[in-house]
Amino acid sequence: MISLDSNGLINSGKVRVCYLHPANPDLVIKIPVGRKKEEQQANIKELRGYQMLMREHVDLFCVSHCYGFVTTNRGTGLVCDCIRDDDEEISKTLWDVIVCQDECDLEYIQNVIGKFCNFLISKDIFVFDLNLKNIVLRSQHDGSFQPVIIDLKGRYESHELIPLSRHIAYLGRKKLERRCNQLIDRVISYRENRAEYQPADKAFKGQKGITC
């Protein structure tokens, strides 16, 4: 059994806590935050979403790959790639950069995210949960950012009565376009209104260059 403790905590979302794998710094383990159905099912949704994506796309550099389940002292966890910058730091989420960091080249980030969205759309990479905390910006030696999606359960979280966009490419494409437009709008609006969001997210307080 893998033993997790709070020293390995990376961050948490609404339904899962993300830990660094204690035996492998290139992996994370995601554990449900509680016993509610939504929390318990998040990992299986992500694994299914990931497998579906991999059936459609042989090789994807823009997602955190998932490897299956492990037993831990904090419950069953899903193992995925830990996304790190070229200097080995764990990559910051788009939220960390846009909302928490004082310094942020908004124009450049808008450009990076715009190009990333065009890439997702052009390749029919159907990832729908494109919020600022589900994308990390992998910082590279040349100072550029490569966006990577770290939460793939959105494909299985359809709020449609019959999840047609999961199976019909045209509808999937339309949904992806809407989600991409929302993401691009959010990059600007969250930066402009960042003071409103900072107190609610203290998880990264104290980390290098991050103030909230």
Ligand X SMILES: Nc1ncnc2c1ncn2[C@@H]1O[C@H](COP(=O)(O)OP(=O)(O)OP(=O)(O)O)[C@@H](O)[C@H]1O
Among 15, 31, 130, 187, binds ligand X (CB under 6 A): 15
Print burial letters for 12-41: b (CB count within 10 Å at least 16), e (below 16).
ebebbbbbbbeeeeebbbbbbbeeeeebeb
Specify the stretch interacting with ligand X by CB under 6 A; choose among 67-75, 81-89, 105-113, 194-202: 81-89
From 71-79, 114-122, 143-151, 189-197, span contacting Mg ion (CB under 5 A): 143-151
Q: Which is nearer to Mg ion, 129 or 212 (CB)?
A: 129
Please report how close the Cβ of residue 130 comes to Mg ion at its closest, in angstroms.
Answer: 10
Task: Single out the residue of 64, 93, 134, 165 in contact with Mg ion (rule: CB under 5 A).
Answer: 134
Residue 10 binding: pick among ligand X, Mg ion, none (C-beta 5-8 Å cut-off by kind): ligand X
Q: Is 135 exposed, middle or buried (0-12, 13-18, 19+ CB in 10 A)?
A: buried
- Beta-bridge mates of residue 28: 20, 80
d(CA 197, CA 95): 10
Looking at the DSSP assignment, which residues form a beta bridge with residue 78?
30, 69
Q: Which two tokens stand for residue 67?
A: 């490897």
**What part of residues 28-47 is at the interface with ligand X (CB under 6 A)?**
28, 30, 42
Q: How far is the CB of 9 from ligand X (least distance, A)?
A: 9
Judged by CB under 6 A, the residue of 9, 10, 70, 104 near ligand X is 10
Calculate the CA 22 to chain-centre distance: 21
Under 8 Å between Cβ of 128 and 49: no
12 near ligand X, judged by CB under 6 A: yes
Locate 162 and state its tokens: 């019959």
Q: Which is nearer to ligand X, 63 or 176 (CB)?
A: 63
Answer with the entry of ligand X, Mg ion, none that 78 interacts with (C-beta below 5 to 8 A by kind): none
* Number of shown-chain residues binding ligand X (CB under 6 A): 23
Binding track, positions 119-158, relative to ligand X; x by CB under 6 A: --------------xx-x-------------xx-------
d(CA 201, CA 203): 6
Q: What are phi and psi of 23, to 5 degrees?
A: -105, -5
Binding site for ligand X (CB under 6 A): 10-16, 18, 28, 30, 42, 64, 80-83, 90, 93, 133-134, 136, 150-151
